[in-house]
Amino acid sequence: MPDSTSAPGEALPSSIDRTDGRPVYVIGGGPGGLAAAAALRERGVRAVVLEKSGRVGSSWRGHYDRLHLHTTRRWSALPGLAMPRGFGRWVSRDDMVRYLEKYAEHHELEVVTGVEVSRIDRTADGTGWQLSATGGRMLTGRAVVVATGFNHTPRIPAWPGRESFTGELVHAAEYRSPASYAGKDVLVAGIGNTGAEIAVDLVEGGASGVRIAVRTVPHIVRRSTAGWPAQATAVMVRRLPVRFVDRAGRLMCRVSVPDLAEHGLPRPDTGLYSRVREGAIPVQDVGLIDAVKRGRVVPVAAVESFEGDTVVLADKTRLTPDAVIAATGYERALEDLVGHLGVLDPRGRPVVHGARTPAGAPDLYFTGFTNPISGMLREIALDARRIATRLARTG
């Protein structure tokens, strides 16, 4: 893999200083960026991946130790390279990192590390894109694929009094393992997939007490039932009418997931797919159901504010945990990069993705900024092929 670094102020390698042919620049060396670059290369389109860190798959390296994909190995592979069977059905974080490294090497991708793009503008002649990058560099490409990631910048709500909290308050992005929380009382704020898995990890790792703060009751689904993965069902139903999928999802959950209302986690009163369309992905069970039933993870109301060593919940309950882990999501953080181009919706997300480009921004593509029920990595692979096909036609 032609992987190289460049310190601020230095010239980038000659391979990306050349303007002949104007490469397609791919911003981000994670799954989305690598998949797009590989698909482009396969179609004879030169693609240069710009990665701000020192290695591909940077964000994956920082995930918590316990993490495994909730999508199957088969449907998580990127274009042109299957995942080894030895990874098992549910791929671990470390194996995912190994796969991304091998992927870049296998496809001989042109990856330049240590280069962060801060802004994208149309070239003066309107025939391409100009990228403002580390060290004052200005790079010109015929097209740009933005793949900086769904989980880019950790977000912690501006809870009143949080700065004065005398306990430990960290975002889930900083959590690695339960070792440092053994014997401690921990509150996990947020019951998405990350919050649910960290709560179970804490229980199994010896935390003395684990509560999970719930703002909106989630849909919980089994990762697989009798060997049939939830992802397979999601792929089958994702284009069906929302009302139909909501009904089917309600029936499926009643059959496969016990009613946890008496344990503080009632069934949601909105449809599963309706919630997905609003951006809320179901929680895949990796031990949460059993932990809640056994009282080892205790659901509580949402966090409202902090007062010294106390956390005040929405129902006015007051807790004094040793630590709070905020599993409260991430920002896409695209405003500085492309916000001036009018290509983001009011929530800061790209208005289009895949092979579609925003109005007024030809040859500017986005991938990896949706979290579909059918699996992000599967959709990234599909996006990569579509983007490459379109750019090969227009090149």
Query: What pLDDT is stored for residue 21 in this prediction?
Result: 64
Tens digit of each residue's pLDDT (9 = 90 or more) over 201-223:
999 999 999 999 999 999 999 98
Tens digit of each residue's pLDDT (9 = 90 or more) over 8-35:
333 454 444 433 468 999 999 999 999 9
Query: What pLDDT is stored for residue 6 in this prediction?
Result: 38
In the predicted model, what is the mean pLDDT of the chain?
92
Contacts of 310 (CB under 8 A, 6+ apart): 318, 319, 320
Query: What pLDDT is stored for residue 278 in this prediction?
Result: 79
Q: How far is Cα 273 from Cα 241, in angstroms, rounded to an integer?
A: 9
Q: pLDDT class for 228, splitting at 50, 70, 90?
A: confident
Taking 90 as the threshold, does the pLDDT of residue 264 lie above it?
yes
Q: What is the DSSP string of 83-122?
A: PPGGG-SS-BHHHHHHHHHHHHHHTT-EEEES--EEEEEE
Tens digit of each residue's pLDDT (9 = 90 or more) over 144-192:
999 999 888 999 999 999 999 999 999 999 999 999 999 999 999 999 9
Tens digit of each residue's pLDDT (9 = 90 or more) over 81-123:
999 999 999 999 999 999 999 999 999 999 999 999 999 999 9
Over residues 68-80, mean pLDDT: 95
- Answer yes or no: are the C-beta atoms of 380 and 73 closer than 8 Å: no
Structure tokens, 347: 């929530």
Q: pLDDT class for 341, splitting at 50, 70, 90?
A: very high
Q: pLDDT class for 3, splitting at 50, 70, 90?
A: very low
Q: pLDDT class for 236, splitting at 50, 70, 90?
A: confident
Query: What pLDDT is stored for residue 276 in this prediction?
Result: 83
Q: How far is Cα 383 from Cα 104, in angstroms, rounded to an integer?
A: 18
Element (H, E) at 211: strand 209-214
Taking 60 as the threshold, does the pLDDT of residue 225 lie above it?
yes
Query: What pLDDT is stored for residue 12 in this prediction?
Result: 52
Rg of the chain in Å (alpha carbons): 22
Query: What pLDDT is stored for residue 16 in this prediction?
Result: 44
List of domains in the chain? 3-152+332-394 (3.50.50.60), 155-326 (3.50.50.60)
Q: Nearest-CA neighbor of 168 among 28, 45, 322?
A: 322
